[in-house]
Chain A
Amino acid sequence: MSADAPAETLTVRESINQALREEMRRDERVFLYGEDVAEYGGLYKISDGLLDEFGEDRVFDTPLAETSLGGTAVGSALVGARPVVEIMYADFLPIASDHLINYAAKMYFNYGDETSVPLVVRAMYGTGDGHGLHHGQSPEAWFMNIPGLKIVMPSTPRDYKGLLKAAVRDDDPVVFLENKMQYDLDGPVPEEEYTVPLCESEVKRAGSDVTVVAIGGMVNTALEAAENLSEQGIECEVVDPRTVSPLDTEPILESVEKTNVLVVAQEAPTFGGFGSEVAAQVIDDAFFYLDAPVKRVGAPFTPIPFAENLEEIYFQTADDIESAVIDAIET
């Protein structure tokens, strides 16, 4: 995909919608289901218009049962269909975790004839809208430790569209996480047919002083922090892995070899989070390039609070990333 290719400006919402539409046109085995995805067009209007185009055999609503959503997705994928199932809030994923962890992740391992589980589970995450405990958690760390699952967390409209298309075409089970606070974020999206490969990290901003690895919604936050830090003479290199697992560490390692300083940012609580694994990989493979302690930015180790001020404290902003960068550099 060349930089000169004509591009349109789309929001994240539009990008996802287009991706679904295009993939369903391309492959009739692809179908979309979940709660309120059909007529309602999805809680956040992501699947708007898809029922009209594809009919209720391929876009339909289901009873309220995440176990069914998870289990039927596995079963239908195993017999050759390509389900895209929406679990609405990522916080509900635990209800389907038996099917994700014990079934979907393990069937390729269990079959001997190359049968796999080509499903996509879409779920929303992201704090900041006062939804409290159970409508905003970032689940990537819950599933990162499960071999066999793929976890994708895009940040830009271009990445959302390209990665979702790639996820649908991927023969392995993919958990596709959408930041609901950034559905309206817009950006350039190629007009031509394209996909963005899974399991490839990308440098979103080049810099020579510190490597900031950020995931999902925090990528944009990191870019904001980078702009602010640039004014102070600190140039950040922002690396966006896009796929949490399997993780492409090479660009991250190359970056740390250049900058000698690593900061990792995620929305989920710091402890036991994505950042910790990135830190460990870097400490293992780029140890002799580290000139500062690795700093991780993440939420405090609490549930998501409801009160406006508490939520503000909880939610990680550019300030938090900037502080972490300064901490690392000045230790």
Chain B
Amino acid sequence: MELDASDKEGILRDLLLVRTFEEYVLDVYQDRGIRELPHSSLGQEAVGVGACVPTREEDILVPSLRTRAVMLLRAPMKEIVAGMYGTESGPSAGRTTEHHMGSSEYGILGTTGMVGSHLNASAGAALGSEVLGDDRVTVSFLGDGATQRGEFHTALNFATVKQLPVVFVIENNHWTEAKPIEDLVAVDDLTDLAGHGLPTQIVDGQDVIEVANATSTAVDRARNGDGPTLIEAKTYRYRPHAETMPEERDKAELEEWKRRDPVNIFSERLVDDDVVDDEWIERTTEELRERAEEAFQFAEDDDLPDEEELYHVYKDTDIDHEKGVVR
């Protein structure tokens, strides 16, 4: 895709946004804890950021558990952090966790705690677009864990048979919960799991531009009515699956991947190309950190939700929530 300097600066800013935020989350969590258990995306920011580059505002994004980039790029940071704290200014007024948030306003499809269950829902979102005759494309993110489920197979098959406007982006960070991917999947490339006749592509997940380009092609394809694409972005996460799950990571492996840190790579490239300078990077990083600090302060000062918020179960029927019957 065609990206000018301004576009690239914007992309770096987005990378820094996700990076600083995730680092701040980790700091706060380690310092004083956060009600929502962080599932950090440190190390794989380029996939989320890159894949969102070619999307339009009205396109539907379906994050995986770890795709914080989607939230940060679409929703106000204060609302996100309030969501992590379970307070009333969060996306669901404290009813549910932030990492499963859904919002028609922001174009984020709500998800559930079942890894991979959003895949058919993503195909469904694409199906809905078709039926409604709008132009929207659905970009669905999934981790390597989700490819191990039957959902992966049925969703891809359905989307391909029906030629639905959906792009599936695998964030293969080489670790499924506490196990390395090699132990759990019989093939090396996850795209090999998808023998559904849909176009697949493997990209370097550390290279944000490569991700953006591949997604751009896929999005165009979808918008043209040519059906779904499966992109596998090879990347790496520095942190455990969840902050409470310690892991024994091979230090050497970690160091090797850190040498190809996606934020650093792109920063260096833009500095080299004179798009930005170090000072810009420092300043931007500082601004973003301050924003994060503000957002966390906001959330920590925010009120807990009114009891009324709990009784938000049916849109069209008023019930007695104690007895579970019609009022």
Interface residues of A (CB under 8 A from B): 29, 31, 57-58, 60, 62-63, 65, 67-68, 70-81, 83, 98-99, 102-103, 106-116, 147-148, 150, 170-172, 198-200, 245-250, 281, 284
Q: Could you give 29 example pairs across A and B, Cβ below 8 Å? A: A62-B158, A65-B158, A67-B154, A68-B155, A71-B151, A72-B123, A72-B127, A74-B120, A75-B124, A78-B109, A79-B104, A81-B131, A83-B124, A83-B131, A103-B121, A108-B312, A110-B100, A110-B101, A112-B90, A113-B105, A115-B102, A115-B110, A116-B315, A147-B313, A148-B313, A172-B316, A200-B326, A246-B325, A249-B326
- Whether B325 lies near A247 (C-beta < 8 A) is yes
Q: Is B60 an interface residue (CB 8 A)?
A: yes
CB distance from B45 to the nearest CB of A (A): 25
Determine if B38 is an interface residue (Cβ-Cβ < 8 Å). Answer: no
Q: Which residues of B contact A76 (CB under 8 A)?
A: 124-125, 127-128, 131
Q: Are A110 and B120 in contact (CB under 8 A)?
A: no
A71-B114 in contact given A79-B109, A199-B326 (Cβ < 8 Å): no
Q: Which residues of B contact A108 (CB under 8 A)?
A: 312-315
A73 to B100, CA, bound (A): 18
Contacts of A68 in B (CB 8 A): 120, 123, 154-155, 157-158
Which residues of chain A are within 8 angstroms of B112 by Cβ–Cβ distance?
A: 98, 102-103, 106
Shortest beta-carbon distance from A266 to chain B in Å: 17
For residue A29, which residues in chain B have a CB less than 8 angstroms away from its CB?
131-132
Label chain A's interface by main secondary structure: mixed
Q: Who on chain A is nearest to B158 by CB? A: A68
Residues of A within 8 A of B240 (CB): none
Q: How many residues of B contact A (CB 8 A)?
A: 55
Among residues of B, the one whose C-beta sits closest to the C-beta of A73 is B124
A222 to B265, CA, bound (A): 74
Within 8 A of A (CB), among B145-184: 150-151, 154-155, 157-158, 161-162
Closest to A66 in B: B154
- Contact A246 to B326, CB < 8 A, known contacts A76-B128, A79-B109: yes
A110 contacts which of B102, B128, B317 (Cβ < 8 Å)?
Answer: B102
Interface-forming stretch among B91-99, B204-212, B296-304?
Answer: B91-99
How many contacting A-B pairs (Cβ < 8 A)? 187
CA distance A80 to B127 in the complex (A): 11
Residues of B within 8 A of A (CB): 60, 90-93, 95-96, 100-105, 109-110, 112-114, 117-132, 136, 138, 150-151, 154-155, 157-158, 161-162, 312-317, 319, 323-326
Most buried by A among B125, B126, B150: B125
Given A68-B123, A79-B125, A281-B325: A102 and B110 within 8 A (CB)? no
Q: Across the interface, do B326 and A247 meet the contact criterion of CB distance under 8 Å?
A: yes
Starting from the known contacts A107-B110, A110-B100, 11 additional A-B residue pairs (CB-CB under 8 Å) come to A60-B162, A63-B158, A65-B158, A72-B124, A75-B120, A81-B128, A81-B131, A109-B96, A110-B92, A246-B324, A247-B324
Across the interface, which residues of A come within 8 angstroms of B103, CB to CB? 111-113, 115
Provide the residues of chain A in CB contact with B93, threshold 8 Å: 112
B104 with A71: CB separation less than 8 A = no
A63 near B312: Cβ-Cβ < 8 Å:
no
Question: Given the complex of chains A and B, what is the CA–CA distance between A79 and B60 in angstroms?
Answer: 8
A209 to B254, CA, bound (A): 77
Known contacts: A29-B131, A108-B313, A198-B317. The answer to whether A71 contacts B110 by CB under 8 A is no
CA distance A197 to B96 in the complex (A): 30
Given A71-B119, A75-B122, the answer on whether A80 and B128 have CB atoms closer than 8 Å is yes
Contact flag A111-B92 (CB < 8 Å), given A68-B158, A102-B114: yes
* Highest count of chain B CB atoms <10 Å: which of A70, A99, A148, A198: A99
Closest to B92 in A: A112
Docked CA distance A32–B113 (Å): 28
Interfacial chain B residues near A78, Cβ < 8 Å:
102, 104, 109-110, 121, 124-125, 128
Residues of chain B with a CB closer than 8 A to A71's CB:
117-121, 123-124, 151, 154-155
Please tell me if the beta carbons of B102 and A74 are within 8 angstroms of each other in the complex: no
B127 in contact with A75 (CB, 8 Å)? yes
Q: Which residues of chain B have C-beta atoms less than 8 A from A75's C-beta?
A: 109, 120-128, 138
Residue of B nearest to A114 (CB): B315
Residues of B within 8 A of A109 (CB): 92, 95-96, 312-313
Q: Give Cα distance in the complex from A199 to B90, angstroms.
A: 31
Question: Quick check: B131 and A58 within 8 Å, CB to CB?
Answer: yes
Q: Do residues B104 and A113 form an inter-chain contact, with CB atoms below 8 A? A: yes
